[in-house]
Structure 1
Amino acid sequence: MRRAVKVEIYSDIACPWCYVGKTRFERALAAFPKGSSVEVVYRPFQLDPSAPYEARPHREVLAAKYGPQAAAMDQRITALGAEEGIDFDFDTVLENNSLLAHRLLRFTLDEYGPAAQTRLKGRLMTAHFGEGMDIGDHEHLTDAAVTVGLDRDAVAAFLSSDELHDEVLDEIDEARQLGITAVPTFVFEGQWAVQGGQETSTFLRVLEQVAKDTAAAADSADAEAGACADGVCEVPATDGGAAGS
């Protein structure tokens, strides 16, 4: 089956709107007739690359950053998440630098493929926002990876190394060079970008339109390729006989 659409999703594990966007997008994907042929890849992005490598209570971090309005911000996203079936429990959320988790997601993509990466992304978000998971803790990350089918020893060895550290930082830098300054950002076929946790209906319309445009472009390319095969280009003959010299 021809791949219908490739979607690259730039997001941060520590971003509640990225969790909402993922949930809505996956609901749209389930409703999309060609959903099984859509390739989804998660790309790294850090809202706070300077965050310390230590677990800190979310409430304290947000209050220090936004002051009195922090509580209202949490209440808003909690209510919105409940409408989407997401259980945000900000009393248990621990903030930490997300780079290690992004490295694990890239490792999963390289070694296990996009589907496994998507499963792990979902598991990390569920555990981070609802179960008090520390996304900077090796043991917690290993347990999450094993839950979605990764090999425990391979994951533990990877997390104990510096593998993919520079590559992930380069990806984050490339995202900013592409003009991505906020997440989630959904890039369809490397051409069309949709920013934010849009409604499910919006994602579905985008999938339908991009799939239509992609199929039309592929059909056009196939028609052009069909005129030339095995080193010979066919030229329509005229009544005068064969073309050529």
Structure 2
Amino acid sequence: MKVEIYSDIACPWCYVGKHRFERALADFPGADTVEVVYRPYQLVPDKSEQPEPHREYLTARFGPQAAAMDDRLAALGRAEGLPFDFDRILETNTLLAHRLLWHALTAYGPAVQAALKDRLLTAHFADGVDVGDRDALAALAAEAGLDRDRAAAFLASEEGREEVLAEIDDARAVGITAVPTFVFEGKWAVQGGQDTSTFLRVLEQVATETGALPAPAAQACADDACEVG
């Protein structure tokens, strides 16, 4: 089974959704037959490359409700065991990080890409790292199992830029308007940071539909997600 996850490093629900999906996958009997690939998406493609404090950025976009949005996610994060440090988060353009994820997939494969995705999300939401900074990204790449010098050379070039932009355009063309969106076998889509139990039911349903598991099916619906700004 192939699962393509469209997400953005700047999306908190992508952070939550990845955690919940991986927890469901760990409980899925056919986990070793599932290939997970992360696809790029940008919520704010015209965001400046200059890092900006999260609190200021969110208040400018959403006004007084910004604080309540952060409080809700902080509480959710505590329940999920995921750290959010909104006072340290730096908002920036995420294209460079998406290019690095593309490099990880094409040069190292899905497992290394997933490790890098996890490191990028944690670095952004918990560690206050500027994920638009080339040196910081090269260091994160090394922590995720990539060769640091090779990653640094890649980031200094324009390699992968057109391919990543084309993938983002393709995502919008097929109707993806919010992230995270999980696409199973190129046919079934689930939007939002669903509960772990929902992801597990979807995995079982798709396995049943494709003949991989003789299990009863259940449907999932859209829930919390980050929408295009």
TM normalised by structure 1 equals 0.86
Q: Secondary structure at the match of 2:176?
A: coil
How far the C-alpha of 1:81 sits from its partner, in A, is 1.1
Q: CA deviation at 1:214?
A: 1.3
Q: Distance in 2 between matches of 1:114 and 1:216?
A: 21
Q: Percent identity, aligned pairs only?
A: 67
Q: How far apart in 2 are the matches of 1:139 and 1:69?
A: 34
SS in 1 for 2:182: strand
Pick from 67, 74, 80: which aligns with 1:84? 80
Is 1:29 the counterpart of 2:29? The answer is no
Corresponding letter in the other structure for 1:153: D
List runs of 5+ in structure 1 lacking aligned partners. Answer: 218-245
Matched with 1:202 is 198
Are residue 137 (structure 1) and residue 101 (structure 2) matched?
A: no
Write the distance in 2 (CA, Å) between the matches of 1:214 and 1:45: 27
In the TM superposition, what whole-angstrom CA distance separates every residue of 1:48-96 from its partner, at most 9, and x where no partner exists? 0010011110000000001111000000011011111100000000000
2:169 to 166, 173, 177: 173
**What is the one-letter code of the residue matched to 1:79?**
A
1:208 & 1:179 partners in 2: Cα distance?
25
> Separation in 1 of the partners of 2:5 and 2:69?
24
Q: Which residue is 1:73 aligned to?
A: 69
Within 2, Cα distance between the matches of 1:92 and 1:152? 25
Alignment of 1:50-65 (within 5 A): 50-65=46-61
CA drift of 1:215 comes to: 2.1
Counterpart residue number, 1:230: none
Alpha-carbon distance in 2 for matches of 1:139, 1:58: 21
Separation in structure 2 between the aligned mates of residue 99 and residue 153 of structure 1, nearest angstrom? 20
Secondary structure in 2 matching 1:215? coil
Superposition map of 1:1-245 within 5 A: 5-215=1-211
User: How well do the aligned residues superpose, as a CA RMSD in angstroms?
Assistant: 1.0
Cα separation, 1, equivalents of 2:112 and 2:132: 20
Q: Which of 1 and 2 has greater Rg? A: 1
CA deviations 1:12-65 (Å, max 9, x no partner) are: 000000100000000000000111220000000000001001111000000000
Unaligned runs of at least 5 residues, structure 2: 214-229
Three-state SS of the structure 2 residue aligned to 1:194 is: strand
Q: How many pairs align?
A: 213
Instruction: Give distance in 2, aligned partners of 1:191 and 1:185.
Output: 12
Note the C-alpha offset of 1:216. Answer: 6.2
- Aligned residue for 1:10, secondary structure, equals strand
**Aligned to 1:197, what secondary structure does the other structure show?**
coil
